[in-house]
A and B are shown apart, each in its own frame.
Chain A
């Protein structure tokens, strides 16, 4: 049965999941809802139109950073609740 320790861990995990998916939703969907409007903005220094830049590089890079960040956060949650398995090498 789920102990209270495990329940607390799962609540934190769910919280992180919501934040991660909200950021994912922003970079994959919200930006491109306004693709036409945002494309008149120029990316500083690089000079690409903004929407073009986001689907060519920007959102892609955001996803990479997002997954690294969120997997780091999840590991912190696991360690804080004493359920991390990062040291285990085999079953």
Chain B
């Protein structure tokens, strides 16, 4: 049945896999209607999917350097797009985004624009040129283009700082999902998540991560889209919710005006005993705030996320795995298409969830109903018992008002299927999807860090004579060390998920965006300029984060640039420092200039050659 090369059989293999997963879903539906417990179904979903990823990881084991670092550069365009989409969409995208839109409305949707628009920068400015360059890692490009170990080291520093900030949030998410679905403590859940992540990446490096990420994308996109369509059909909101929800959005705006968006005082919430981290609807759903400052806050957040996207090494390195430059460029387009499928659904899920809860014409609504009736609803009871939802009757009238219903943002994705009355099997599916999203991103990030440390620091700086066996052994050891360190930090639960994710983008854009882009687009950029840019950008960005960060010095931000947007400061300083210092130093030698000429042309040999 499978003839020829492995990559030629991919559509068949993943077609069978998708069919198998849908059959598994149907089997679970049958099991549920035959009385198998909800808890058992959750456990089945998680163990079944993780076992498949681990199997793929083990089957993709390799002892070849090129396969370990860049998957042998044979990943077809469309499959690389899927793998990148899984690499990209984190636990935050899957679990937290719809909730963020639900509570943050229009203002929050700057994240949607930012997390998609960045791919235009990736495809236009970077991916094809880095592919032509032929590097194994992002610091490998910096180190070779600018020359010298110090420039390479600075790039590794930025990479590790940005990726580590990001990965703790992912491992945190795997821990949360695993602990909820398996019924174990959070700390145990984190270690279960870590072992699953390492099983996927350790033996096969990039090759294993690529094929597990494709499998994870298929699970996560089914898990996200299926409930949305199901809810929309069941509630009679339209066959294709993305085009049919205009009247629901208008209805929400109307209801907001009717109820009024009351803000609770902190003192009142404290007195009522609202658990930390729960939110209530106080921001309009679809209304854009007026004024130049509001527009600037939207745009500046979008800029940070876009430029950060184009500087995150775990994304850029995915385009090192395609067969040629043209397919690297094309692959960016497919990546964004696969990401788009989830991102343009998130606002629809938020809209469906909100209309079902607040519109009194809906059978599922709770706002405006007597509180004792609401408390008797099954899903309300469940989520209140785990402190993810709360009711505070501020005006003591026994009726639930808009500002009296509290819920954690993540609950929007996790509980909306229950609100709509879908069977529990859908919740199991959603848990498997969230796990796939968090695992795939964590895998990409841990691999990016371990590869940079093993290839750029160990092989290029410490021991250039190391043989293949030793290099791959070091790479794997580092993978474990970084994973354990990240899991340890995650188990201490230091930051909220969103804060950490936005910071990773800001760190990456502060230190890496201009050194990467100018390395391709400006021949005059010199080593000293790049080093000055990376260090000045990183230091000024970090300093500004400490200056305005609410958990640090908590000073008033300049021009509305708060701790989520510190990359604006870092990247600007980086650009200025890099240009000034480059112009003040001697222009790069002829060999470097030729290297830049070469990487701008798709045809011909790749710029650096690796010993095998």
Contact = CB atoms under 8 A, between A and B. Distances in A.
Contacts, number: 168
Interface string B112-129: 111011011101110010
Contacts of B605: 91
B601 A36 contact: no
Given A24-B117, A55-B113, A64-B340, A32 B325 contact: no
A27 to B, nearest CB: 7
Interface in A1-49: 1-2, 6, 9-10, 13, 17, 20-21, 24, 27-29, 32-36, 38-39, 43, 46-49
A5 B295 CA distance: 45
A30 B325 CA distance: 31
Nearest to A74: B329
A89 to B, nearest CB: 5
B326 A56 contact: no
Contacts of B333: 64, 67-68, 71
A36 B247 contact: no
In terms of DSSP, what is the predominant structure of the interface of chain B?
helix
Given A47-B250, A88-B324, A67 B332 contact: yes
A67 B602 contact: no
Contacts of A28: 113-114, 117, 120, 302, 306
Interface string B127-150: 010000010000000000000000
Contacts of A83: 601-604
Interface residues of A, number: 52
Interface residues of B, number: 63
A73 B532 CA distance: 36
Contacts of A74: 128, 329
Contact of B110 (A20, A55, A61): A55
Interface in B322-357: 323-327, 329-330, 332-333, 336-337, 340, 343-344, 347-348
Interface of B: 73-74, 106, 109-110, 112-114, 116-117, 119-121, 123-125, 128, 134, 242-243, 245-247, 249-250, 286-291, 294-295, 298-299, 302-303, 306, 323-327, 329-330, 332-333, 336-337, 340, 343-344, 347-348, 594, 597, 600-606
Enumerate the 9 nearest inter-chain pairs by beta-carbon distance, A residue then B residue, closest first. Answer: A47-B246, A56-B347, A35-B288, A55-B109, A67-B333, A86-B326, A28-B117, A52-B286, A24-B120
19 contacts: A9-B601, A17-B125, A33-B299, A34-B295, A36-B288, A36-B294, A39-B288, A46-B243, A47-B246, A52-B286, A56-B109, A59-B117, A63-B340, A64-B336, A66-B120, A67-B119, A75-B326, A84-B602, A91-B605
